Amino acid sequence: MKEKLLFFKKFLQQGRHIGAWVPSSRYLAQAACKSAHLEEAKLVVELGGGTGVLTQEIVRQIPQNCDLVIVERDKEFAQLLKHKFDGSHVWITEAQNMHRYLDEHGFKEVDCFVSGLPFLSLPKKVSEAILEIVENYLAPEGVFIAYSYFPNAYYFFKRFFPEVKVEFVMRNFPPAFIYTCKKK
Ligand SMILES: C[S@@+](CC[C@H](N)C(=O)[O-])C[C@H]1O[C@@H](n2cnc3c(N)ncnc32)[C@H](O)[C@@H]1O
């Protein structure tokens, strides 16, 4: 309950960057991770960890030797994530700067990006910059998973990825579309 209140407070303070009133449901987290096939990943990057609903599911599914980098711009969320997932790299920054962290740590190819970022409500230039980095660092066989409450997010992702599959999850507030994007 405390985390839901924190999330709602953040929504009131910075709605455009949060994009939702409440954290994702575990059903959405499970459906997003199912499409990601995390069991063989070596490096997973989560964008916009929030209170960690998706992170929880990612951590449950990745193998022991897999690195998890969580990118979160809000300091309070990032502190919470560090506390909850102390084996992972939590980086407090904007996702449009994540290439610096990846380069500094020698992370060349990302097997899976899982995103909770509200791409359609962020400034267009920011969303485009993030997608360009994702496209550059995603392994050839890798997968980019994002969810959105809007069906037109499809057209945005399709500009960067030739393959975009869509799934609809009812058990979330509000119901959401999961986009699974690949380079080929
Ligand atoms: C809709 S919330 C998703 C939170 C969580 N993944 C979930 O599903 O409940 C979006 C999250 O993205 C973060 N965020 C927004 N813009 C960002 C950016 N440019 N870089 C990194 N994080 C960002 C927000 O602070 C927030 O935690």
Q: Angle CA(179)–CA(177)–CA(180) in degrees, nearest 5?
A: 10
For residue 168, count other CB atoms closer than 10 A to its CB: 11
**CA–CA distances in Å: residue 92 to residues 49, 80, 129, 167, 172:** 10, 11, 18, 30, 27
| Res 66 pLDDT > 80 | yes
Instruction: Tell me the average pLDDT across 162-173.
Output: 97
Residue type, 52: G
pLDDT of residue 16: 85
Q: Is the CB of 49 under 6 A from ligand 1?
A: yes
| pLDDT band for position 10 (cuts 50, 70, 90) | confident
Contact 54, 114 (CB under 8 A): yes
Share of residues in the chain with pLDDT > 70 (%): 100
Look at residue 18 in the predicted model and tell me its pLDDT. Answer: 87
Mean pLDDT across the chain, nearest whole number? 95
Label residue 14 by pLDDT band (50, 70, 90).
Answer: confident
State the CB neighbour count (10 A cutoff) for residue 166.
Answer: 13
- Which residue is closest in CA terms to ligand 1's atom 27? 50
CATH architecture group of domain 2-182: 3-Layer(aba) Sandwich (3.40)
Checking if the pLDDT of 31 tops 90, the result is: yes
Going from the Cα of 115 to the center of ligand 1, the distance in angstroms, rounded, reads 8
104-131 tens-digit pLDDT: 999 999 999 999 999 999 999 999 999 9
Hey, what are 114's tokens? Answer: 């899982």
Residue 184 pLDDT exceeds 80: no
Check residue 88 and give its pLDDT: 84
- Whether 142 is in the pocket of ligand 1, judged by its Cβ within 6 Å, is no
What distance in angstroms lies between residue 176's CA and the mean position of ligand 1's atoms? 15
Nearest protein Cα to ligand 1, atom 13: 48
